Amino acid sequence: MRKVVIVVAVASVGVALAQSASAADLAAAPIYKSPPPPPAFSWTGFYIGANGGGGWGQTSHTTDPTSVLSFTTGNFNTSGGLAGGTFGYNYQTGPWVLGAETDLDWADIKGTKTYSDAIDDVPASFSHSSELMWLDTTRARVGWAYDRVLFYGTAGAAFGGVQTNRNASIALLDPARSDTETRFGWTAGGGIEWAFLNNFSAKVEYLYVDLGSQTQMLDDSVKFNANIVRAGLNVKF
């Protein structure tokens, strides 16, 4: 009987030790932790890019009413394309994004007005044309970011090279003229930009450009404005 008690006691101790070792093994098991969430995207930083698109607008030629040859073409349409480069900087605070951007584009936005008139009762035909040859804008941008999507408005200064031409079928009465001037004006618009990768974004924007009126070809007061729609690709660094 004593042997049976001793055997039972030894067995009980063995079971207790085994349970204690198993509990210790479970306590030592590593605890799984989920990875930290990725950092929030930020628009802050310098960027460079390329853009391209098209434009349309209106121009007009008007001479001084006291000139020997007095005329006005009225408004006529212009259209064409443009492409170039962009450089800028954004600073994000909360959902607001503040920045500055400048760009320089080659352009070919032009139009021609042809009409008939008379000089000293002599019938003649006339041709007037205006062409925006390049466009430079320097603008402030204010935007609201929804993570990687940015909605923004923009406004600032605009500079452009405008070439004008005037021809008449009777050259002796009105010699052909051509002139190219750098014009100064303003621009405003807005757009949407999407950061599809951490350092790459694509945008679509609209700008209204007003280069005002300026005397060209000696006595023509030439007005020029344009609506610009373009897409762009930027690289942030």
pLDDT attached to residue 158: 98
* Cβ contact 195:148 at 8 Å: yes
Kindly report the backbone phi and psi dihedral angles of residue 36, in degrees, each rounded to the nearest multiple of 5, phi listed first: -65, 150
**Positive or negative, the Cα torsion across 145, 148, 151, 152?**
positive
What pLDDT, on the 0 to 100 scale, is given for residue 19? Answer: 54
pLDDT score at 8: 40
Q: Please check whether residue 148 is in contact with residue 41, taking contact to mean a CB–CB distance below 8 angstroms.
A: yes
Give the separation between CA 53 and CA 46, rounded to whole angstroms: 23
With 0-12 / 13-18 / 19 or more C-beta atoms within 10 angstroms meaning exposed / middle / buried, residue 167 is middle
Angle (CA) 27-29-32 rounded to 5° is: 120
Residues 14-34 as b/e (b if ≥16 CB within 10 A, e otherwise) read eeeeeeeeeeeeeeeeeeeee
Rounded Cα–Cα distance for residues 16 and 193 (Å):
68
C-alpha dihedral sign at 41, 42, 48, 52: positive
pLDDT score for 178? 92
Measure CA 145 to chain center. 16
* Strand boundaries in 120-176, DSSP class E: 122-146, 149-168
pLDDT value for 7 = 41
Q: Which residues of the chain fall below pLDDT 50?
A: 1-18, 21-24, 26-27
For 190, the 3-state DSSP assignment is strand
For residue 1, the 8-state DSSP code is: -
3-state DSSP assignment of residue 211: strand
* Class of the CATH-defined domain 45-236: mainly beta
Domain boundaries, given as residue ranges, for the chain: 45-236
pTM of the entire structure? 0.81
Run of H or E including 73? none
For residue 168, the model assigns a pLDDT of 81
Round to whole Å and give the CA distance between 185 and 206: 17
